[in-house]
Amino acid sequence: MWKKITANLFIILIIFSFSLTGYAASAKTLNIQIAKKNNNDYQVTVPSKNAIATDKKTVLISGKAPKGTSIVIEVYGTTDLTGQNFSLTNLPQNNDYILISKETINAGKIGFAKEVELVSGINKVMVIFKVNGVDTVEKIFYVYDKALAEKAAKNPYLLAPTK
């Protein structure tokens, strides 16, 4: 009996010896967490989707960044301007893109906005915030010819057979 009581007291003593101790983060860890929180200050809000199909050859790229932040907007087009080899489901490799335009802008009080020109086919727009630790934002646009799309939609031979 004394062995059971001693064993139970020993177990209770071990359980209560684990105290609730709080540990403070080191300054290095704290800086990393602050940097992650500040990355929300650098966003592309328009367009909100990462891949968009459109018949317009100009699009607005806008977002938020602290005033004075340098932002580079690069527009790439595909080497296949016919649009037959690539689509939003079959994107080109990085070496298939050609740099079409590159412009550096500065963020204002309410962020940044820039209208960019696209080419027919697949376009990749890269928004590069010139701040350490902030990721580059990539948006994909598929620019199609509206008349050709309507003609293709009316072609009965393009419809898939149903089973």
Whether 23 maps to a domain, the answer reads no
| Residue 116, domain CATH | 2.60.40.10
Whether 111 maps to a domain, the answer reads yes
Cβ 144 vs Cβ 55: under 8 Å: yes
Cα–Cα distance, 146 to 94 (Å, whole number): 27
Domain that includes residue 40, residue range: 35-154
Whether 56 maps to a domain, the answer reads yes
- pLDDT tens for 48-99 read 899 888 889 999 999 999 999 999 999 999 866 555 677 777 888 888 899 9
- Provide the domain count of the chain: 1
Q: What's the pTM value of the predicted model, to 2 decimals? A: 0.66
Residues above pLDDT 90, as percent of the chain: 37
Whether 4 maps to a domain, the answer reads no
